Amino acid sequence: MQIDQSGFQERVLQLKQKYPRLRIASGTIDKRARTHFFISANGEVYTFDSGALSTIIIGDVRTHTIAELAASPALSKRSPKFLRTFPRSHPKQPCNPQQATSGVGEGAPPASRTR
């Protein structure tokens, strides 16, 4: 469910003015996609893709080190494996089907997969 962008930005501005010492950052789903990862209560590590409900499983904190999880191609917007999930408006990221399927998962944690 999407919310009204102008109303949201107005509320963010109000919060920033009321709490100037807090670092309040906001952004669209596309700008926030795959920039952070989260750990669920069961140890599963995931990130959000550019879709409103898209998640990408990165791995598991019980079987992977933080370094392995942070090195996952799921957190790189340049990864051939995940290029096709981003909007085509990114000129530096052409979608080449051969490239998207070759070398997938090299250097990634073994549990990396998309849902």
Each residue's pLDDT tens digit, 45-86? 888 776 666 788 888 999 999 888 888 887 877 776 666 555
Q: 68 pairs with which residues across the strands?
A: none
The first and second tokens of residue 98, run together, are 């051969």
pTM: 0.43
Measured in whole angstroms, the distance separating CA 8 from the mean position of its chain's CA atoms is 21
The answer to whether the Cα torsion of 60, 61, 65, 69 is positive or negative is positive
Cβ-based burial of 109 (10 A; exposed 0-12, middle 13-18, buried ≥19): buried
Q: 45 pairs with which residues across the strands?
A: 39, 59
Q: Where are the domains of the chain?
A: 1-28, 33-114
Tens of pLDDT, residues 25-48: 887 777 777 777 788 888 888 887
